[in-house]
């Protein structure tokens, strides 16, 4: 089902942080996904890049997709494929600042409880 850019942004805004925290260590693209989140929410990022990243991140957040996330060994393969396609198209817009914020988020998440790790 195709969603509008506004719907994707709402899905990401409401669900990405929680999903990222729950899946750390289980998906091989955590660092890049979190950096992509910071890029997509950066007002300086070009609109077409934001739309591309929001669509890929929304696909990751929504639990019911081509291969449901709960299927052991396969659950995130379709999420990874969608994410990597978007990443290849726009990763040049992910800055050192976005990557630094992602590392900080990952460090906070690993060191603090979910309540204490603000984004």
Q: DSSP states of 51-66 as a string?
A: HHHHHHHHHHH-S-SS
Kindly state whether residue 15 falls inside one of the protein's structural domains. yes
CA–CA distance, 78 with 23 (Å, rounded to integer): 15
Kindly state whether residue 47 falls inside one of the protein's structural domains. yes
Kindly state whether residue 117 falls inside one of the protein's structural domains. no
Which tokens hold the place of 80? 């990874």
Q: DSSP states of 3-48 as a string?
A: --HHHHHHHHHHHHHHHHHHHTTTSTTHHHHHHHHHHHT-TTS-HH
Kindly state whether residue 118 falls inside one of the protein's structural domains. no
pLDDT value, residue 76: 59
Q: Which residues span the domain enclosing 68? A: 5-111
Kindly state whether residue 40 falls inside one of the protein's structural domains. yes
Count of structural domains, the chain: 1
User: Which tens digits make up the pLDDT trace of 3-57?
Assistant: 899 999 999 999 999 988 888 777 778 899 999 999 999 999 999 999 999 999 9
| Global confidence as pTM | 0.77
Which tokens hold the place of 44? 């300086």
């Amino acid at each position: 089902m195709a969603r509008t850019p506004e719907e994707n942004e709402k899905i990401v805004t409401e669900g990405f942080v929680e999903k990222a925290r729950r899946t750390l260590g289980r998906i091989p693209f955590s660092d890049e996904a979190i950096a992509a989140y910071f890029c997509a929410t950066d007002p300086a990022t070009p609109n077409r890049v934001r739309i591309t990243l929001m669509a890929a991140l929304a696909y990751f957040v929504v639990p019911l997709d081509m291969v449901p996330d709960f299927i052991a060994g396969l659950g995130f393969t379709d999420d990874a494929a969608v994410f990597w396609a978007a990443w290849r198209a726009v990763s040049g817009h992910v800055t050192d600042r976005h990557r630094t914020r992602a590392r900080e988020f990952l460090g906070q998440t690993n060191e603090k409880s979910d309540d204490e790790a603000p984004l």
